[in-house]
Amino acid sequence: MEQLMRNFFLFLSNNKALTKAAKKYGFRFGASRFVAGVNIHEAAKKIKELNEKGFVITVDHLGEFIDNETEARQSAQECIRAIQVIAHQQLNAELSLKLTSLGMDISYELVMENMRNIMQTAKEHQVIVTLDMEDYGRLEQTLDIFTTLKQEFDNVGTVLQAYLYRVEKDLEALNKYKPYLRLVKGAYKESEEVAFPNKADVDKNYKKIIKQNLLYGNYTAIATHDDEIIEYTKELEQTYHLSRDQFEFQMLYGIRNDLQDRLLKEGYKVRIYLPYGEDWFGYNMRRLAERPANVMFVLRGVLKKSK
């Protein structure tokens, strides 16, 4: 049943018609649980609150299925605006973005123009920018853009997904760039030809790449809510005498707040991935796919609003 629910919500997350329709309904169906506001100023208030508690932040302007140049340029300007707000308000935050929201599916020239404009602003304000990893079909181009930008800008990172068979080789190939990497399990539905279908195999591979990147000496962001993975990372810290300056735990806004607080109290760096924007549907559906408990939370919220 859990796998059926996961597949159902992943199917919904890729539906362009539902994504566009959802914008008309605002933050219903539990979106406010996982999304911090519709604009960067609303998000900045949440960031400041979390900074004051000791958390650091990755902020993400949500956007999916952008297929025209005008919207891609508007998305780039929003990223630049977010960087400027981070700098002006002296927030402890980084920026994360999806290349498809900046025109990657339109043309290489457009996405690179938008990215260089964003990266130049980020460099001026000393803000790190992470390129999100999307579905498998866009992996090669994402890595190509990352390695190209990495040769021009020090303040750029990207994401690798443990559920892909090829991730170890990608990690090895990127090592020469001394990359800043966010390591995740993976949140898209992929074919068994390219990705592990079983959770146990994904978990095993996830542990393998965490250890691999840490022993390379690269800064590693471990993005998980999985207690077993967190404990494994702590064991690596003790076994290999790793500095806590070499890694951080990353977690999603609105999920496992208790765990976030506990890790912070234990002295670990905890970064919260905090999205904002009107284009919330696809992101929200992937969060529902990840944990059945999230579905119950949303249903309770909808029932309360309907009374």
Question: Hey, what domains does the chain have and what are their CATH numbers?
Answer: 1-35+280-307 (no CATH), 55-275 (3.20.20.220)
Predicted confidence band of residue 298 (pLDDT cuts 50, 70, 90): very low
Q: Which of 132, 170, 203, 279 is catalytic?
A: 132
Kindly tell me if the per-residue pLDDT of 205 is higher than 50.
Answer: yes
Tokens representing 80 are 């630049």
Predicted confidence band of residue 292 (pLDDT cuts 50, 70, 90): low
pLDDT value of position 261? 97
> What is the chain's mean pLDDT, rounded?
87
Kindly tell me if the per-residue pLDDT of 126 is higher than 70.
Answer: yes
Between 238 and 9, whose confidence is greater?
A: 238
Cα(281)–Cα(64) distance, integer angstroms: 9
Predicted confidence band of residue 67 (pLDDT cuts 50, 70, 90): confident
Highest mean pLDDT: which range of 10-24, 103-117, 286-300? 103-117
Distant-in-sequence, close-in-space partners of 292: CB < 8 Å, separation ≥ 6: 2, 5
Respond yes or no: is residue 182 known to be catalytic. Answer: yes
- Write the secondary structure of 110-153 as one string of H (helix), E (strand) and C (coil): HHHHHHHHHHHHHHHHCCCEEECCCCHHHHHHHHHHHHHHHCCC
Predicted confidence band of residue 179 (pLDDT cuts 50, 70, 90): very high
pLDDT tens readout for residues 243-287: 999 999 999 898 889 999 999 999 999 999 999 987 766 665 666
- Give the CA radius of gyration of the chain: 18
Q: Which of 6, 60, 170, 182 is catalytic?
A: 182
Cα(202)–Cα(115) distance, integer angstroms: 31
65-80 as b/e, with b when 16 or more CB fall inside 10 Å? bbeeeebbbebbebbb
> Taking a C-beta distance cutoff of 8 angstroms, is the pair 57, 94 a contact?
yes
pLDDT tens readout for residues 1-59: 555 555 544 554 455 555 554 455 555 445 567 788 889 999 999 999 999 999 999 99
